[in-house]
Structure 1
Amino acid sequence: MSRGIYILANDRVIDNAIALLNSIRAYDADSPIVMIPYNNQYQAIADIITKSHGVKIYEDLQLLEKIDDLVKQTCGDNLLDRPNLLRKLACWFGPFDEFLYIDTDIVVFEKIIENLNYLANNDFICCDYQYTGGIKQVFTPKITEIFSEDELKDVFNSGFWGSKKNLITQQDLQDTFEFCASHPEYFYVLNSDQTILNYLVLKRMSRRFNIVRENGKGPGNWAGSPHFKQEGYKLVDPKVNQPLKFVHWAGVRLEPGGSYWDIWEHYRYLNEPKPAQVAFTQKKKSLWQQIKDKIKG
């Protein structure tokens, strides 16, 4: 049985991809990694990461184009935001029997592929607290006509998840796209991949597991959470007294002075000199300035 990691990237996210890959390789030198091209602009990143990190490029480019065409034919040009994100669905048809998918705005703090051990008793895994915010950013309230309240407690973030090859078919994709196009009233379209991936998994996979629910409650991982404590170049969640598996800048700006910037910066320049302009770190505002900003807001 083969195991591996997929990422989705192009030339616009070279720095993020390198930071992610550096973090993966810092704890795991050997696990195979495949990059799914987000679009046709990926030669620059491919030249770098195939040499520096042993990454391979997804071979079946025709399948990616087929997914693109299927999305366009069924959903049109205006229904979905960033439809190319749906290329990540190609994970189910790639070379790995068991796989993790990881967005490039993530860095990891452990041998992350070992989380695939949870697939021994499950067909789909995720690791986030998306469900605590309810269904917003995934579905509209009308989705309760399709899924029960218990089922909707399994909504997840589409940036980190794992599954098994061929559990989803190309016909499943077509049926899902057609349903979403015919019933836009159920879907929060600003996150097209998250919406469609959630619908696909909730509809077709009953053996789901969210890793943060293990032993009651696990650590968070969203970079928008201000309470994490830094230990070296890892983070700890003091609410559960556990180290984070990874940190995810979903919807959070990755910039000097931003949330956990020094963590990202460390992994981005782990194996090369850090440019002077990137070394800038914004000074923390005084308490009085924070109060004034809050009043202005």
Structure 2
Amino acid sequence: MTDGIYTFANDVVYDQLVALLNSIEVNEGRELPVCIIPYNNQLDKIRAEVAKRNHVTLFDNQESIAFWENFSTQAWNTHDRAQKIWAERGLSSPYRLAMHRKLCSINGPFDKFVYFDADTLLMGPLDAVYEKLDQYDWVTNDFQYKSDIKYIFDRPEGQLYQVFDPQYVKSHIFCAGWFASKRGIFTPEILDHILHNLKMGESDSMALFGPDQSLLNYMVLRSNISYYNFAYHNLEQATGSHWSSTFDVVDNVLYDKGQKITYIHFMSISAGKFTQLCGGEDVKIPYQDVFLHYRYLKSPSDRPQLKPPSWLVQVQRNLKNAIAKISDRVISKIRKIKRGLS
């Protein structure tokens, strides 16, 4: 049995990827192979980094990429409301199709795997996660069930619970930026069953603007595969993982109430913020010193000395943001006018 780690990247998140790879190398405790699923073909920096690391590869199975993009397209084509709203907003359909490539982890080279978004740092060994995969098909460590469900399903709860049992939904939802599973867990029969149920109207429950997360959650729920969430089933010992939490920092490792966390996810912090940080700007990202430690672990002399942005940069950014807000309002009004005329 081959254990491994997947992540998902292109050159836009190069700094985050390097930090993640270094954190895995230092904190995992054993040399696990890492496979990078490409977001697109913008991969010059990624390829150069892979060439330097013996245990890291770039996923290049184009047949698998095409399969999962086709499956995701079929799934979202059943969602009439999504198609209408995306078209009104001038968005591609399916929206953010490339994000669904993380599904390639399902039929990649590893028998058991943990998936990390690139904007994540590993803080400790994953042994307990792989051990859970001996008992369960899908494993998470996620407090999403305590948050607003609209980020995963945006159907009114009364309608959603006509499809799924309320407690079952609560115990099984998760952020798609970190999860663990096994190769081949979604068989062709299961995938056919999923598409069938989506076509029968269940697709309307999926949230439109986190499409990969919503589809993946639906797939896990509808397939009835066995599921374990450390943060739900073992709440007393579960640790947090989101950057908004308050952790203690000891030797560049984060602790939650004295217990080492498994990982930290910088979810929703833009790639541009990390680019600014690595360019020497003090952008005030939580735990940014920990991030910089891992980003420049192999090249400490390159670590930037942080300074606040210049007044000119601040003015330019404020002006850009103001123009963007005005543009959004104008576009929104035009769409409302068009809907009223149609």
Query: Could you say which TM-score interval applies, normalised by the shorter chain?
Result: 0.7 to 0.9
User: Is residue 259 of structure 1 aligned with residue 286 of structure 2?
Assistant: yes
Larger displacement relative to structure 2 (170-179 or 8-17): 170-179
User: Is residue 51 of structure 1 aligned with residue 52 of structure 2?
Assistant: yes
Contact 2:50 2:58 in 1 (8 A): no
Task: Note the C-alpha offset of 1:82.
Answer: 1.4
CA change 1:249–1:150 in 2 (3 A) is: same
Q: Secondary structure at the match of 1:35?
A: strand
* Superposition pairs of residues 129-208 of structure 1, within 5 angstroms: 129-140=143-154, 141=157, 142-153=159-170, 154-170=172-188, 172-173=190-191, 176=194, 179-180=197-198, 183-208=202-227
Identity among equivalent pairs (%)? 28
User: Deviations along 1:48-95, whole A, 9 cap, x unmatched?
Assistant: 123235311224222102222333355357454312111111111111
Moved over 6 A (4+): none
Supply the distance in 1 between the matched residues of 2:73 and 2:137 (Cα, whole angstroms).
Answer: 28
Supply the distance in 1 between the matched residues of 2:13 and 2:212 (Cα, whole angstroms).
Answer: 18
Which residue is 1:289 aligned to? none
Q: Decide which of 305, 308, 326 is 1:279's aligned counterpart.
A: 305
Contact 1:92 1:167 in 2 (8 A): yes
Q: TM (normalized to structure 1)?
A: 0.85
Supply the distance in 2 between the matched residues of 1:120 and 1:159 (Cα, whole angstroms).
Answer: 22
* Superposition pairs of residues 82-93 of structure 1, within 5 angstroms: 82-93=96-107
Which residue is 2:27 aligned to? 27
- Structure 2 stretches lacking a partner, 5+ long: 78-82, 87-92, 275-282, 310-342
Task: Note the C-alpha offset of 1:205.
Answer: 3.4
Supply the distance in 1 between the matched residues of 2:108 and 2:237 (Cα, whole angstroms).
Answer: 32
Q: TM (normalized to structure 2)?
A: 0.74
The total of aligned residue pairs comes to 279
Supply the distance in 2 between the matched residues of 1:75 and 1:164 (Cα, whole angstroms).
Answer: 24
User: Deviations along 1:96-138, whole A, 9 cap, x unmatched?
Assistant: 1111111101001112355211112111101111111142200
- Structure 1 stretches lacking a partner, 5+ long: 284-297
Supply the distance in 2 between the matched residues of 1:199 and 1:95 (Cα, whole angstroms).
Answer: 24
Contact 1:6 1:35 in 2 (8 A): yes
Supply the distance in 2 between the matched residues of 1:26 and 1:133 (Cα, whole angstroms).
Answer: 32
Task: Note the C-alpha offset of 1:247.
Answer: 0.5
Contact 2:194 2:222 in 1 (8 A): no
User: Is residue 237 of structure 1 aligned with residue 238 of structure 2?
Assistant: no
Opposite residue 207 of structure 2, the aligned amino acid is Y
User: Deviations along 1:24-63, whole A, 9 cap, x unmatched?
Assistant: 0012452111111111222430221232353112242221
Which residue is 2:328 aligned to? none
User: Is residue 216 of structure 1 aligned with residue 242 of structure 2?
Assistant: no
Which residue is 2:113 aligned to? 99
User: Which one has the bigger helix percentage?
Assistant: 2
For the pair shown, the structure with the greater C-alpha radius of gyration is 2
User: Is residue 71 of structure 1 aligned with residue 85 of structure 2?
Assistant: no
Opposite residue 231 of structure 1, the aligned amino acid is V
Task: Note the C-alpha offset of 1:274.
Answer: 4.9
Larger displacement relative to structure 2 (170-179 or 127-136): 170-179
Q: Decide which of 270, 275, 292 is 2:297's aligned counterpart.
A: 270
CA change 1:43–1:66 in 2 (3 A) is: farther
Contact 1:6 1:91 in 2 (8 A): yes
